[in-house]
Chains A and B, each alone.
Chain A
Amino acid sequence: MTFESIAPAVALIVVFLAAVIVCVKPLGLYIANVMEPKQDSPILALRVGVPLERLFYRISGIDADKEMGWKQYALAVLAFNTLGLLLLYLLQRIQLWLPFNPQQFANVSADSSFNTAVSFVANTNWQGYAGESTMSYFTQMAGLTVQNFLSAATGIAVLVALIRGLARNSAQTIGNFWVDMTRSTLYLLLPLAVVLALVLASQGVLQNLSAYKVVTTLEHATQTLPMGPIASQEAIKELGTNGGGFLNANSAHPFENPNALTNFLEMFALFVIPAALTYTFGRMIGDTRQGWAVLAAMGILFVMLLSVATYNEQLGNPRLASLGVDQAASLVQPGGNMEGKESRFGIGASALFATVTTATSTGAVNTMHDSLTPLGGFVTLFQMQLGEVIPGGVGSGLYSMLIFAIIGVFIAGLMIGRTPEYLGKKIESFEMKMASVAILVMPIVVLVGTSVAVSVASGKAGVANPGAHGFSEILYAFTSAANNNGSAFAGLSANTPFYNTALGLAMWLGRFWPIVAILAIAGSLAAKKRLPVTPGTMPTHGPTFVILLIGTVLLVGALTFVPALALGPVVEHLMMWQG
């Protein structure tokens, strides 16, 4: 492989990261100012939105000034999301009798409805169905798109509650869930989604309510083209790190992602809010260096893994090379492993999208992950298995990373014989127990789920590629569900009662059980006194802490998943190169 062959991919990565970094501070500052607005704020969105916000509270009977303790906050999260789950389930089960169904799609089956409802409420957007042959426009808009906003807002609300826990001093409350949901939806997600939807529509992403069109092709055959309100769902799919596409091929489909510009904007939209929230965190706790340190740790891990994915995809498949297939990049071909990829994107944009989508718990795809090289697939799997923290989903990425920070300072405290503290708050046994719950739920769900699926007939029945790759497909499915990612290796037939139920359970447990633990930590930390910084305090904004954080994330992820990874992508890679 020459430098010329990898140069376009490197250039794209540099431009992408520069675009994100430039937006981190302004967007992060904006988010901090709208989530905790000051009186007479000059921000235009607040001046316009506050009357609307107050009207909403009045109609819904919410007392915006009344804050909640962690338990009340957690119960509100649970009640709201369970109600959303029930409503979305029912919507799919009766869609045939509802409007905006020009293709007259039947009611969705019970197991698929359950899986999809849990999936979208849990910000996973695992789709065991093909959108254009299953869901009516009404279900897509009123069900799936609405949950895309609400699940993203839930993540941001929980994050802001945790930040308040770290920022406040001897407080009994951590905010008001209804207010946090309203503000994150009204001032952040909705405005950005409207702008992005308009830009995407201008580039050719469809936005209509027409019936599907039957066209005659150049070969005089007929083809049915799906239609629909795609741009509006596409925007929040990316911005809210949801990932659920309107169409089955997701962002590989030209109606969802027509060109290089929409591809870049979609990747940018995936990454920008999770990255900016690190600045929001620093701002809200009164020390932006803390946010930059966390972002640095995330960035280093991301770039390391992105390099592995891009290099291996450009290197290609040695088995094809041995058959005399030309995989070199040239003016007439991108070279490398183009299986499952769109020729309008090539290697660089596909590897970057695959890495970004699994780093942000989104799960949207512009390339078939099942067709990635073994190490390319390893990167997508491993990023999820690290807990979706680099930078992770909106809200969920950072709150998970802060748990790793707490574990990291605890380990450091053990090593030097000092009481661990983070941002002036002592880390004691309760916080460590809750941090353990928060990080252990996911691996337990992944490993137990995978073990059951490879042991029972109904689990094994879904495998299309037996052997190491088939194992990877099952491992990937449970990893994706438990980490609320939603992407798939796609070689697995997962729209079966077994997988719909098992993965539905995995998605719920992987999302809401850690949230309970995290809110408990928030409540416990809020009640503590903030200790002054002394010469003995371990700084948590310097290179030492960044390395500690990276080490903690890698250690926990590697120790938990290396055996499973060894059986899947590692074996596959060794077999591929052995010849």
Chain B
Amino acid sequence: MDVVFMLVIVALYASTRWLVWAVAQLGGESRQGELK
């Protein structure tokens, strides 16, 4: 069970890290759109 919850913790970290990346991408796209 420890392995399962370690994987869950890694998944929570990875998903939140993905969110940071996705938001950063969105910020970059928005800025380009505004420049147009």
Contact B9 A513, beta carbon cutoff 8 Å: no
B34's closest neighbor in chain A, by CB? A428
Contact B1 A78, beta carbon cutoff 8 Å: no
Among B4, B5, B23, B31, the residue within 8 A (CB) of A516 is: B23
Contact B8 A501, beta carbon cutoff 8 Å: yes
Interface size on B, residues (CB 8 A): 20
Q: A513 to chain B: which residues have CB within 8 Å?
A: 16, 19
Q: B16 to chain A: which residues have CB within 8 Å?
A: 78, 508, 512-513, 516
With A74-B20, A75-B17, A516-B16 already in contact, the answer to whether A110 and B2 are too (CB < 8 A) is yes
Q: A75 to chain B: which residues have CB within 8 Å?
A: 17, 20
Contact B26 A85, beta carbon cutoff 8 Å: no
Contact A78 B24, beta carbon cutoff 8 Å: no
Among A82, A89, A110, A516, the residue within 8 A (CB) of B20 is: A516
A523's closest neighbor in chain B, by CB? B27
Contact A113 B5, beta carbon cutoff 8 Å: yes
CA distance A114 to B11 in the complex (A): 13
A573 in contact (CB, < 8 A): no
Contact B9 A78, beta carbon cutoff 8 Å: no
Interface string of A487-519 (1 = CB under 8 A from B): 000000000000001001100100011001100
A212 in contact (CB, < 8 A): no
Contact A93 B2, beta carbon cutoff 8 Å: yes
A433 in contact (CB, < 8 A): yes
CA distance A508 to B17 in the complex (A): 13
> B residues engaging A (CB < 8 A)?
1-2, 4-5, 8-9, 12-13, 16-17, 19-20, 23-24, 26-27, 30-31, 33-34
Expressed in whole angstroms, the minimum distance between the Cβ of B22 and any Cβ of chain A is 9
A47 in contact (CB, < 8 A): no
Expressed in whole angstroms, the minimum distance between the Cβ of B2 and any Cβ of chain A is 6
From 500 to 545 in chain A, residues with beta carbon under 8 angstroms from any chain B beta carbon are 501, 504-505, 508, 512-513, 516-517, 520, 523-524
From 64 to 117 in chain A, residues with beta carbon under 8 angstroms from any chain B beta carbon are 71, 74-75, 78, 82, 85-86, 89, 93, 109-111, 113-114
Main secondary structure of the interface of A (DSSP, over half): helix
Contact B5 A111, beta carbon cutoff 8 Å: yes
With A428-B34, A433-B26 already in contact, the answer to whether A71 and B20 are too (CB < 8 A) is yes
Give the A-B contact count at a CB cut-off of 8 A: 62
Contact B5 A110, beta carbon cutoff 8 Å: yes
Among A74, A93, A110, A520, the residue within 8 A (CB) of B4 is: A110
From 427 to 443 in chain A, residues with beta carbon under 8 angstroms from any chain B beta carbon are 428-430, 433-434, 437
Contact B26 A78, beta carbon cutoff 8 Å: no
Contact B9 A85, beta carbon cutoff 8 Å: yes
Q: A114 to chain B: which residues have CB within 8 Å?
A: 5, 8-9
Expressed in whole angstroms, the minimum distance between the Cβ of B34 and any Cβ of chain A is 7
> A residues engaging B (CB < 8 A)?
71, 74-75, 78, 82, 85-86, 89, 93, 109-111, 113-114, 118, 428-430, 433-434, 437, 501, 504-505, 508, 512-513, 516-517, 520, 523-524
Expressed in whole angstroms, the minimum distance between the Cβ of B36 and any Cβ of chain A is 13
Expressed in whole angstroms, the minimum distance between the Cβ of A39 and any Cβ of chain B is 34
What 3 A-B pairs are tightest by C-beta distance, nearest first? A110-B1, A430-B30, A114-B5
CA distance A71 to B21 in the complex (A): 8
Expressed in whole angstroms, the minimum distance between the Cβ of A526 and any Cβ of chain B is 12
12 more contacts with CB within 8 A, not counting A85-B12, A516-B23, A517-B23, are A78-B17, A82-B12, A89-B5, A109-B1, A110-B4, A429-B34, A430-B27, A433-B30, A508-B12, A516-B16, A520-B23, A523-B27
Contact B27 A520, beta carbon cutoff 8 Å: yes
Expressed in whole angstroms, the minimum distance between the Cβ of A523 and any Cβ of chain B is 8
Contact B1 A111, beta carbon cutoff 8 Å: yes
CA distance A111 to B8 in the complex (A): 11
B21's closest neighbor in chain A, by CB? A71
CA distance A543 to B20 in the complex (A): 37
With A71-B20, A75-B20, A516-B20 already in contact, the answer to whether A505 and B1 are too (CB < 8 A) is no
B5's closest neighbor in chain A, by CB? A114
Contact B27 A505, beta carbon cutoff 8 Å: no
Contact A82 B23, beta carbon cutoff 8 Å: no
Interface centre among B8, B19, B24 (most CB of A within 10 A): B19
Q: B13 to chain A: which residues have CB within 8 Å?
A: 78, 82
CA distance A520 to B30 in the complex (A): 13
Q: A517 to chain B: which residues have CB within 8 Å?
A: 23
Interface centre among B9, B12, B23, B31 (most CB of A within 10 A): B23
CA distance A473 to B23 in the complex (A): 35
Q: A523 to chain B: which residues have CB within 8 Å?
A: 27
A-B contact pairs, 12 of them (CB 8 A): A71-B24, A82-B9, A85-B12, A110-B2, A110-B4, A113-B5, A114-B9, A501-B8, A505-B8, A508-B16, A516-B20, A523-B27
Q: B30 to chain A: which residues have CB within 8 Å?
A: 428-430, 433
Q: B33 to chain A: which residues have CB within 8 Å?
A: 429
Q: B26 to chain A: which residues have CB within 8 Å?
A: 430, 433
A72's closest neighbor in chain B, by CB? B20
With A78-B16, A78-B20 already in contact, the answer to whether A524 and B9 are too (CB < 8 A) is no
B11's closest neighbor in chain A, by CB? A505
Q: A429 to chain B: which residues have CB within 8 Å?
A: 30, 33-34
